[in-house]
Structure 1
Amino acid sequence: MQPSIECEHVRIGPRGLRGELALVPHALGGVVFAHGSGSSRLSPRNRLVADLLHAHRLDTLLFDLLTEDEAGDRLKVFDVGLLASRLGGALDWLLERAEFRRLRVGLFGASTGAAAVLRLAAEHPGQVGAVVSRGGRPDLAGGYLVGVQAPTLLIVGGLDTDVIELNRRAMRLLRCNKRLEIVPGAGHLFEQPGTLDAVAQLAGGWFAAHLSTGRSR
């Protein structure tokens, strides 16, 4: 049974980046989403995962990493430093809200958004409670991988062979509590039936285990 969810349309930072904050009763933690290239807060895949995370008593924030004008600039779309900076601004904004004073927050990144998540986790270890990557490009985080301290779960589709290898290389560089999960029969976008549900179950279990501090809102 889905919990009663309070949804709020928000604007984040000086550029007024659009976002959607969902608050669940008695939340154990929160999750900020970072979408991949060519996507936005409206990503149907991230939205479905977010909906399923609510059942794990997790708040979610989906927001646009770029403005509408910036989204058409390929240099900005793949500028991991810029994306990580925007993600950090959203995390700061979230942690300043009264609802999150007692909660830990994790990051969920897809594709290029996963690189931004890993970079931010390395740059601000005290703020990030856990990381999940879906079909991520951890190679784009470069040397920041060795600095990640948050427990990190890498999820890759079984049909996404090139990205599987990139994630295996990242596993060798990560020095934190880490795990690689390969979802059988899933492609890069996890469009096959049931594959996103598998992602949500893996992510929900990971976040619930590592964000819960015995306190809830």
Structure 2
Amino acid sequence: MNSTALNYVEEKIVSIELDSVRLQAEIVLPLACQGMVVFVHSSGVGSYSTRNRYLAHLLRKTAGVATVQIDLLTPQEEAIDLRSKHCSSNVQFLVKRLTAATNWLLDYPLTSHLKIGYFGEQTGADAALLAAAENKSAVGAVVSCSGKNCLTQDALSRLQTPSLLIVGENDLPAITTNQDAVEQIQITDKELKIIPNVGRQFKETGAIEEIARLASHWFKQYLSSVSYPQSGANVYKSLYRDRANTQINQQITTIK
């Protein structure tokens, strides 16, 4: 990915209407991005957390992907969930929302030409893996971080999407469950990475950067070699061409 191209980004705050609810998402698209990564957040972690935004920045910079930060719960649902945890711990509920949001992104003009990857953490990781298993043609890669892996053997055996599972060395329960999960996944494009000297929350110095490095390599490998429909690509190129022309005209005016 050319560093100059990465300086040109289009940021969009969009409302995704799904049946009777409306979800908010932030889409950030670098110029000539290769694929798109949808973040599937764990319970209690919103799309606007400093940590998630930093991780998204690193993925855009190192993998050259667009990023989508989406809240799968409405503000009203989040308020209720703070007390009950009913929605954020319900993997099937999150899968339904994630699948609907994915279909929306596949129809949205600025993203319709991009192959989709999922990055999920904890409960969000389980939702990402299950959604990928149920929507084989829509998802090109999954990265699971500290996944609880409460999925059934049948669900994991149906997974056909290249999947990278990341856990911390000090999170022994997660190591065990993720090792079991990798064994249940039938495809060869699967891998378990254990980051040394870190725990479940990855709060240690350099942990986020290592997650980004591993995830970036995975997404570049599986999202960048896709041929895209020209309709979405043409809209995308036109948007940046207009933007670049505007900047050039402004520079000429300044010189005069």
Q: Shared topology, TM-score over 0.5?
A: yes
Is the CA contact (8 Å cut-off) linking 1:130 and 1:210 kept in structure 2? Answer: yes
The higher relative CO (CA closer than 8 Å, separation ≥ 6) is in 1
Total equivalences in the alignment: 217
State the distance in 2 between where 1:142 and 1:81 align: 15
Is the CA contact (8 Å cut-off) linking 2:105 and 2:111 kept in structure 1? Answer: yes
Instruction: Return 5+ residue gaps in structure 1 as ranges.
Output: none
- Alignment partner, residue 39 of structure 2: 33
Q: How does 1:23-172 map to 2 (within 5 A)?
A: 23-55=29-61, 56-71=63-78, 72=81, 73-140=84-151, 143-172=154-183
Task: Specify the code of the residue in structure 1 equivalent to 2:70.
Answer: F
CA RMSD of aligned residues (A): 1.6
SS in 1 for 2:14: strand
- TM-score, L = length of structure 1: 0.94
1:4 to 4, 8, 12: 8
2:221 to 200, 209, 212: 209
- Alignment partner, residue 200 of structure 2: 188
Larger Rg over CA atoms = 2
SS in 1 for 2:48: coil
User: Is 19-28 or 91-100 further displaced after alignment?
Assistant: 91-100
State the distance in 2 between where 1:181 and 1:40 align: 25
TM-aligned CA distance change 1:142 to 1:18, over 3 Å = farther
- Cα displacement (A) at 1:81: 0.6
SS in 1 for 2:216: helix
TM-aligned CA distance change 1:3 to 1:155, over 3 Å = farther
State the distance in 1 between where 2:95 and 2:222 align: 22
Higher helix share: 2
State the distance in 1 between where 2:223 and 2:46 align: 25
Instruction: Return 5+ residue gaps in structure 2 as ranges.
Output: 234-256
- Cα displacement (A) at 1:30: 0.4
Task: Write out per-residue CA displacement over residues 74-114 of structure 1, whole angstroms, 9 at most, x where no aligned residue.
Answer: 22121111100111111111111223333211111000001
User: Is 179-188 or 70-79 further displaced after alignment?
Assistant: 70-79
Does residue 1:178 correspond to 2:190, yes or no? yes
User: Is 113-122 or 13-22 further displaced after alignment?
Assistant: 13-22
